[in-house]
Amino acid sequence: MITQDQLLALINSAIAFGTVIMLGAIGEILIEKAGNLNLGIPGIMYLGGIGGMIAAFYYELRGGQSPVTGLILSLICSMLFAALGGLIYAFLTITLRANQNVTGLTLTIFGGGVANFFGASLNTLAGGVGQISVPITSSAYIAYTKLGYIGTLGKLLFAHGFMAYLAIVLAIAMRYFLNRTRTGLNLRAVGENPGTADAAGINVTKYKYLSITVGAAIAGLGGLFYTMDYIKGTWANDGTIEGLGWLAVALVIFATWKPINAIWGSYLFGFVYWAYLYIPGLSRRTLELFKMLPYLITLIVLIIVSLRKKRENQPPASLGLSYFREER
Amino acid sequence: MSTPEHSAPLLRMAKRGEMLPAWKAWGIRVIALLLSLVVSGIVIVMVSGLNPAAVFATMFDGAVGTSKRAWVTVRDAMTLLCIAVGLAPAFKMRFWNIGAEGQILVGAIASAACMIYLKNLPTPVLLLVMICASLIAGGVWGFFPGLFKARWNTNETLFTLMMNYIAIQLTSYFVALWENPYGSNSVGVINSQNKQGWLPNLFSSGFNKDFGWNVIIVLTVTVLMYLYMNKSKHGYEIAVIGDSENTARYAGIRVNRAYVRTIILSGAICGLAGFVAVSGASHTISTSTAGGRGFTAIIVAWLAQFNSVVMVIFSFLLVFLQKGAQAIASAYNLSQEVSEMITGIILFFLLGSEFFVNYTVHFNGRRGQR
């Protein structure tokens, strides 16, 4: 059996892992609820990650010493990069009515290219030492209060960087926004049936643009959390963010488009992802099969949801379709 | 003051009443392509401070400068084309098969398994067995999402996406199983001694590797697919379902059966691309054997509007640009990922250009007030 310390370590890595994909998934839920299937989430998370990295890197290169300034700069820059990526997607799919899936995939290619290109260029700027690092800014992301050192419960609940809590707050706020506010209901109407929403006087184009840009900015935070907290303010061109981005897309399905489900769903993904470390006697081969589990679980959920056909668990009705008023 | 004319929007878009003549449509696409090259050029010059003419010369040299480089460009274009050809029928019937990555990988696993376990077979027999195995593996990988889509309307975009990751983990499993040398976590070149299961040279028997067989296999598949899509009953059914599923049902087409059949075919050809990649190119297998080409190929097929000839052009164009960008990267000490960034820019422009092919834009300026 695994010891209490091991279990604690496992849960904590599950929470860290879960936070990355939770942020991505919350952004994507907002986008999908307005009827846009954005397969560019991995690219957007890449953009968010490199945006924060660039800001922090230049700040520290110019001799910046304050963790808080670094944090604010990187946070703003990250959301800006990600929102710009979302804006490209929005312009192509809404105004130019390009196909959503194809545009999203292109955004993923583009975002990964931009991020890894600048990641490598920063490395050259830093003197080509192999790895770039922004310890000062990163320390602000990683820091937690003294409560995080006290007892098992403290280590479990309080030993995380602030973005882990921000993600939960965002998820709850997203649920409130989508279910309890007029704007949120309008947005869902756009996603279910844009023709009807348009007839009711809702500005479909505006809602779609806003949901995509804001959703992208939120999803970009997932990339930021990954670079600043999860891998402690470094950058590696290893394609991990892309894999996490696809998991975020999967999590949206797993959560059946509900932000609250995304919270526990993301931790479950993280738990399953890291559990192999704590199972004795796994050979390297079986370990690879074990890592299949998050995807298998998502697949099973997808199948069950489509078998049961419960109305409240279905994707938004117009998901993936462009809206053009004159074609109604 | 406020007459109705004043409240009219500045820009008004409308679907074109009739299709643009082909030359105009292609003119728009070529203009978009040129614009995207200008933008990419500006980006490259901005990040590197180089002379654009020198940059493009480097690109050309990198993609087709020597016969070896030209062959590599041809080889990669053929692999990409094979995937795009496989995806076209599925996409034409609006079945969003974004699982090509997975289908390529299982095809590659099947090919590599044959190379490892059946290396005592005579080469032509072994190659045939490998082709069949990769076709079956890819077909099986396509069958599941197809079946669930047909029976329970399970979302195929998300289903095939998950199948990609299952295939990637499966590949990791087999890489660990076949790793050589032990502890390297890679399979290494399979059968490097006697080259069992390698596609042979077509033109020369010297040291230079040519990829003539890759070209023959892929072009054969392309021509067959062209005939299947345009001259067969199945191809016609695919076109009808793609336009309107209800019409197809009303016309008595068995839509569900067509879904499953088409996605098996689509997966099988992507599996074959896995064979081409393993036996005809890398002679090894890793999780990057598909390397994102399953996604790039979707864009190739989509932009070509599933026209086989145009897919050949787009495959070459994209691979040419990628090779060229990689050459720039190594010549001027930039990161290799510059090629993905440029690919992204070009694809954005091409996707956007489709709007101007299908829609007209009216300016409601002064003329509107008259």
Note whether residue B60 is domain-resident: no
Q: How far apart are CA A315 and CA A252, in angstroms?
A: 10
Hey, are the CB atoms on B298 and A101 less than 8 Å from each other?
A: yes
pTM for this structure?
Answer: 0.88
In chain A, helix, strand, coil percent, each to 5? 75, 0, 25
Domain assignment of residue B348, yes or no: no
- What are the angstrom distances between the C-alpha of A102 and each of A172, B220, B347? 31, 27, 9
**Domains of chain A: residue spans and CATH:** 4-327 (1.10.3470)
pLDDT digits (tens, 9 = 90+) for A276-312: 777 777 777 788 888 888 888 888 888 888 887 777 7
Q: Which residues of A touch B348 (CB under 8 A)?
A: 88, 92, 103, 106, 110
- Residue B167 structural domain: 77-304
DSSP B27: H
**pLDDT (0 to 100) of residue A264:** 92
- Flag whether residue B140 sits within 8 Å of chain A, measured between CB atoms: no
DSSP state of B279: I
Note the pLDDT tens digit of each residue in A128-187.
656 678 888 888 888 887 777 777 777 777 878 889 999 999 999 999 999 999 999 999
Please answer yes or no on whether B14 and A326 come within 8 Å at the CB atom. yes
Cβ within 8 Å of A, B 279-318 = 292, 295-296, 298-299, 302
* Interface residue A117 vs chain B (CB under 8 A): yes
Q: What is the DSSP letter of B183?
A: T
- For chain B, the domain total comes to 1
Strand (E) or helix (H) holding B17 = none
Residue B275 lies in a domain: yes
Residue B63, token pair as written in the block? 């993609």
| Cβ pairs bridging A and B (under 8 Å) | 157
B63, part of any domain: no
User: In angstroms, what CA-CA distances link A283 with A273, A287, B183, B282?
Assistant: 16, 6, 13, 27
Write out pLDDT tens, residues B150-180. 888 888 888 898 899 899 999 999 998 888 7
| Helix and strand counts by DSSP (H, E) for chain B | 15, 2
The structure tokens listed for B203 are 């033109």
Could you tell me if residue B143 is inside a domain? yes
Q: Say how many Å lie between the first and final Cα of chain B, rounded.
A: 15
| Predicted local confidence at residue B368, as pLDDT | 42
Q: Does B355 touch chain A (CB under 8 A)?
A: yes
Binary contact (A299, B163; C-beta < 8 A):
yes
Task: Look at residue A102 in the predicted model and tell me its pLDDT.
Answer: 87
Within a domain: residue B37?
no
Task: State the DSSP H helix or E strand holding residue A293, giving kind and residue range, or none if neither.
Answer: helix A293-308
What is the band of B135 on the pLDDT scale with cuts at 50, 70, 90? very high
CB of A290 within 8 A of CB of A38?
no
Q: Is A105 on the interface with B (CB under 8 A)?
A: yes
DSSP state of B288: T
The dihedrals phi and psi of A303, each to the nearest 5 degrees, come to -65, -45
ipTM of this complex: 0.87
A268 CB-near residues (< 8 Å, 6+ apart): A14, A18, A297
Look at residue A127 in the predicted model and tell me its pLDDT: 66
Any domain includes B41: no
Helix axes A4-33, A240-254, angle to 10 degrees: 70
Q: What is the mean pLDDT of residues A251-261?
A: 89
